[in-house]
Structure 1
């Protein structure tokens, strides 16, 4: 005769208590978000009243004359993040494909562990590495070569013009790409791993190559997860502070090439907040509020994109 365990029914007060605790934790996250937004709004109120909406499209930052605007930090943030994504997405895709489809079993775990360890390195270490390794390398070798070769190219030549300073948008974008790759690659690897083996085996049986399996089977099946991973990397790039502060140059001027020295929202706040007061402090709070709204907009756009993909997928089926 088999032993049977006695099942203890949950009492109503335990169920209500469990529901209340989980509801409290869920509401706590929403309340924290509202509190952060409210604090930024209150801190930036003086700047909002003084500069109005022109704060967003004016390119002047002069503490002496008390003239502040968000255009230069916004452009620096968006361009450095764009450069980071252009580098990180193909590299992350290659890592994820290799780990899921091509790597021998004995190599998967070490490389996967190395990718995960990259995510654990503090951002200040990336910044110091970029400053003492990348900046001299770019200044002496890479940037002069690119300026000489690509600087005279029609249309795109303006992007590779200027003085090889080592610091600037390109260096910041590259450091951000290296910091974003572990997050994007890990998500891509995990979503590729959940693709049903029968789909891939059927494609291979029909004579498909690995590239065709990835492009026609794996990516369509996991596109929502891939987009989520890319947005996770973009969020890391948009809000990064210390690493960008080391290598972007921290100059309040609009960039005229990818090698130009400029600043980002996070680096501007990190550099000036400690000594700021009055209107300058309020302006820094406002560009912090602007970064908050940019990341929120990116999140909304990513959700709309994913929902649109899911709707199209449902219509195809």
Structure 2
């Protein structure tokens, strides 16, 4: 008679002794306190964010009821006569943020790669400290620098772009012809382009920090394997570091975009506010939601304050969506990231 194998019953199924055991580490008092603190901190952050959104929604309800959907399509800002909307300022906000991202991404990417893969160790620490220091500079300092120093030195570049690339719709400047080199330069000042470059210098350190952190986590084994196969330093960066850090590049870019969308003081100091949809980034005159609030907050009536709160609510929702998307991308880049072979 055949006997059942050890560890199984007559039917051949594994016995309870062979079933995988569930391991459960006992949590001590310190672990429970730490877990409670993290949970509380997360709930408090979400509660504050929800409270801000509810506050803006309640304060903006009067203006939103008066305008309805036209709040998103009207360019004028005359809340006292119920003719107001964020079409112009939202367009300016997106244009300034777009210029900032286009300028900041190559700068941040190159700096992050240099720090993580090229610079010597001693110089690397100094560069990291300098990048962090740039992120700590107040925005009003950037705004004053852009207004009194940078703007007058970038007019030549703006004129050159308008002269040779004016056939591109968003690089046109109304009232300026290419055969008039002595034309007034006032049409090139206080533009979305200048404000965007200044904002780019503000958001580049944030982008650089995120990218550098992800690049530094690229697998050392794959780096050494690429060198062993005869790859150059650029080859290692191209085939190992950049593919591994794609999530960090995208996440850092979107985090910088979120900061650029909400920048207030620097943009307010540089631009010349206009309440028309201005798609020409090189031409004087621009606006943004945050600078609109800073401009009219002090003299707004009760209804005008409700209109400003509605504009703030739109900016809050836009920035929130960008930051949540960036956080999810950065979180995915920290685990399971692979480089191309």
| Distance in 1, Cα, partners of 2:141 & 2:332 | 39
- Tell me which residue corresponds to 1:161: 173
Q: Residues 307 and 180 (structure 1 numbering): CA distance in 2 closer, same or farther, change over 3 Å? A: closer
Query: 1:146 and 2:161 equivalent?
Result: yes
Q: After the TM superposition, which residues 42-191 of structure 1 pair with which residues of structure 2 at under 5 Å, given as runs?
A: 42-63=58-79, 65-139=81-155, 141-151=156-166, 153=167, 156=168, 158-162=170-174, 164-191=187-214
1:312 Cα deviation from its structure 2 partner = 10
| Distance in 1, Cα, partners of 2:81 & 2:291 | 21
| Distance in 1, Cα, partners of 2:323 & 2:202 | 19
CA contact (8 A) 1:89 1:181 kept: yes
CA contact (8 A) 1:138 1:166 kept: no
Aligned-partner SS, 1:211: helix
CA contact (8 A) 2:214 2:334 kept: no
| Distance in 1, Cα, partners of 2:113 & 2:76 | 46
Unaligned runs of 5+ in 1: 1-8
Q: Which stretch of structure 1 is more off in the superposition, 121-130 or 18-27?
A: 18-27
- Tell me which residue corresponds to 2:241: 218
Q: Which stretch of structure 1 is more off in the superposition, 142-151 or 18-27?
A: 18-27
Q: Which stretch of structure 1 is more off in the superposition, 18-27 or 198-207?
A: 18-27
1:197 Cα deviation from its structure 2 partner = 1.7
Q: TM-score, normalised by structure 1?
A: 0.86
1:230 Cα deviation from its structure 2 partner = 1.6
CA contact (8 A) 1:127 1:175 kept: yes
1:297 Cα deviation from its structure 2 partner = 2.2
Q: Residues 18 and 49 (structure 1 numbering): CA distance in 2 closer, same or farther, change over 3 Å? A: same
Identify the structure with the greater helix proportion.
Answer: 1
| Distance in 1, Cα, partners of 2:210 & 2:264 | 23
Query: 1:283 and 2:298 equivalent?
Result: no
Between Structure 1 and Structure 2, how many residues are aligned?
Answer: 302
Q: Residues 24 and 98 (structure 1 numbering): CA distance in 2 closer, same or farther, change over 3 Å? A: closer
Q: TM-score, normalised by structure 2?
A: 0.80
Q: Residues 87 and 292 (structure 1 numbering): CA distance in 2 closer, same or farther, change over 3 Å? A: same
CA contact (8 A) 2:244 2:337 kept: no
Query: 1:234 and 2:257 equivalent?
Result: yes
Unaligned runs of 5+ in 2: 1-26, 177-186
1:283 Cα deviation from its structure 2 partner = 1.0
